[in-house]
Chain A
Amino acid sequence: MEPIIEVKNVSYQYPLTDKLALDNVSCKFKQGKCYGIVGANAGGKTTLCNLIRGLVPHFYAGELKGDAFIFGKDVREWDEMKLSVKIGYVFQDPFAQISGVKQTVFEEIGIGLENLGIEHDAMIKKIIKIAGLLKIDYLFERNPMKLSGGQCQRVAFASVLVLDSDIIVIDEPTSQLDPEGSKEVFDIVKQLKENGKTVIIAEHKIDLLARYCDEIITMKEGKIIASGTTKEVLGNIALMEQGITVPQTVRLADKLKREGIVLPDIPLTREEAISLLKERGERHGN
């Protein structure tokens, strides 16, 4: 399958800074897959998202070296407005994503549809559907400027999902959500993937990424230090030395290994860990 986004040897520096935000970054994204971008703060995750979305170099000035292709076309050549329809982007700070000009959550979710000139009744149906999916229909009448962090994050997410973009880039979508809310958001990500959407998530909640992502990119100081399938990357305990967190189950497997209890495979999720422990127990007659 041809990649729909291809980043080749990209280096990028924000204006008025002397440090590279992206340092010789190369990666590919294929349609219908879910990608996780992990790494410590200031590692370049958000800048990579901005590049994929075209905000770098269109919105943020600065020096961009290398090539980035979106649907086969250089990001520099894309009309930013057209790109905003093709690629949905949920920002890190949900409060920054509220337009401030709509008086109800219902209208706030629909603002993108209004901008696209979608027909009135179709707009209402789409808003109701997305709000139901994100369980925010009870907020319809509320003022979007007076929401809690978690509610605001869901509204921001809904307002981008409603545009039905081919690619959805999500920068820390669960930073304001409780564990249950985070799981619900990732369940929606799973549904998007099943519907053929490409989802790219920058996130710290490694256990959720391990469960839902197909591939992982790890970043540190603007560089990609590891990339590959979720198992290849997050199953690599050595990444912890680079400051990258790995799932709890991987750390458990590593501890057990050091105690002389070797599991048949590296578990990425709790269910996998339970299954592998049972399997090992049965093998050893425990």
Chain B
Amino acid sequence: MDSKFIQQFYQDKRGETWWQDIDPLCRFIMCLSLSVATFTIGSWQMGLCAVIFGFIIAGCTKKVKFYMGMLLLVFISAGILGAIVRIPPHLNDGGAIAFTIFGVSVPMSALMNYLDYLLMMEGFAGLLIVYFLTTEMRDICYCLERKGMSPKGTFLVLVAFSMITSIQQKLSNVRESQSARGIEMEGNFGVKVKTIIPILFPVIISSVTSVEERTLAMNARAFGASRHNSHLRNLKKAGALDIGLMWICVAVSVLLIVLF
């Protein structure tokens, strides 16, 4: 038995980095307020600042790869949507032409509008992405419970998130089984999609039916037997610094919204 491992349960859990050391709920309010400000202001400058802020946090918490990957997904989806909804209404605007494509001249105003939209979306999503990348769901649930949310409610949240892992695991098991039976499961993206579709529905259904197992498992552990749960892992309570940082972020966000 590793006494060092046991010892950690006697101390309040602290984050590995300065960012993760801030109370999860305070961090959430910080990210949310800045996200809302980015969305409300809707300029490329604010969006870029939010993306950079997210990048710094991702860098400090060693989540840059995931952060950039998620931002790329947002970039592609928001980029396509923006090209459809943001550029056409501005094509007849006067002023300097930014570029011409397939015989269509795109004015600078349309391009700037598109950039505003794209970076606003990147900044808005980026801050929320970096929050969830750097915060464990169980920590969020713990804080919510501390704020008065019922243990049943937080358990539901945790189970819902663990279902994602469960589906991934089952999908991987079924794919391996199919491979062992000689069914081609590997190949290019098209092949992978083609092979996953027939097994996806049964896997999701089987994960949903596992809810009964989970219910029984928790039933055997006296789930709901007491009104007040205790916790093996305790997070440190939000200190003055955490609350101070949170209010600074909220104040900055409100100020930015008012000014711009």
A binds B: yes
A contacts, CB < 8 Å to B: 55, 59, 80-82, 84-85, 88-91, 93, 96-101, 103, 106-107, 110-121, 123-124, 127-128, 131-132, 137-138, 140-141, 145, 159-160, 163
Tell which of B10, B151, B166, B221 touches A100, judged by Cβ atoms closer than 8 Å. B166
Answer whether residue B180 sits at the interface, using C-beta atoms and an 8 A cutoff: no
Question: A140–B2 contact, CB under 8 A?
Answer: yes
B205-235 interface with A by 8 A CB criterion: 210, 213-234
Determine whether the beta carbon of B5 is less than 8 Å from that of A140. Answer: yes
CA distance A12 to B6 in the complex (A): 46
CB contacts (< 8 Å) of A141 on chain B: these are 2, 5
Q: Which residue of A lies closest to B151 (CB)?
A: A115
With beta carbons under 8 angstroms apart, the residue of B2, B158, B221 that contacts A163 is B221
- CB of A114 within 8 A of CB of B231, answer yes
Interface flag for B155 (CB, 8 Å): yes
Beyond A85-B225, A88-B220, 19 additional contacts (C-beta under 8 Å) are A84-B219, A84-B221, A84-B222, A91-B220, A96-B210, A96-B217, A100-B159, A101-B138, A107-B232, A112-B221, A113-B230, A116-B226, A120-B9, A120-B231, A120-B234, A124-B10, A124-B232, A140-B1, A140-B6
Is the CB–CB distance between A159 and B221 below 8 Å? Answer: yes
A interface SS class: helix
Q: A100-B159, A140-B1 are in contact. Are A117 and B221 (CB under 8 A)?
A: no
Q: Answer whether residue B105 sits at the interface, using C-beta atoms and an 8 A cutoff.
A: no
Measured in the bound complex, the distance between the Cα atoms of B213 and A120 in whole Å is 28
Q: How far is the CA of A32 from the CA of B155 in the complex (A)?
A: 35
Compute how far the CA of A163 lies from the CA of B151 in the bound complex, rounded to whole angstroms.
Answer: 18
A115-B233 in contact (CB<8A): no
- Bound: A90/B219 CA distance, A: 11
Q: Which chain B residue lies CB-closest to A141? A: B5
Measured in the bound complex, the distance between the Cα atoms of B172 and A116 in whole Å is 36
A97, A124, A132: the one contacting B217 at CB < 8 Å is A97
What would 29 A/B residue contacts be, using CB atoms closer than 8 Å? Answer: A55-B219, A81-B224, A81-B225, A84-B220, A84-B222, A84-B223, A91-B216, A93-B213, A96-B217, A97-B217, A99-B214, A111-B221, A113-B230, A114-B230, A115-B221, A115-B222, A115-B223, A117-B226, A117-B228, A117-B230, A118-B230, A120-B230, A120-B232, A120-B234, A124-B10, A128-B1, A137-B1, A160-B220, A160-B221
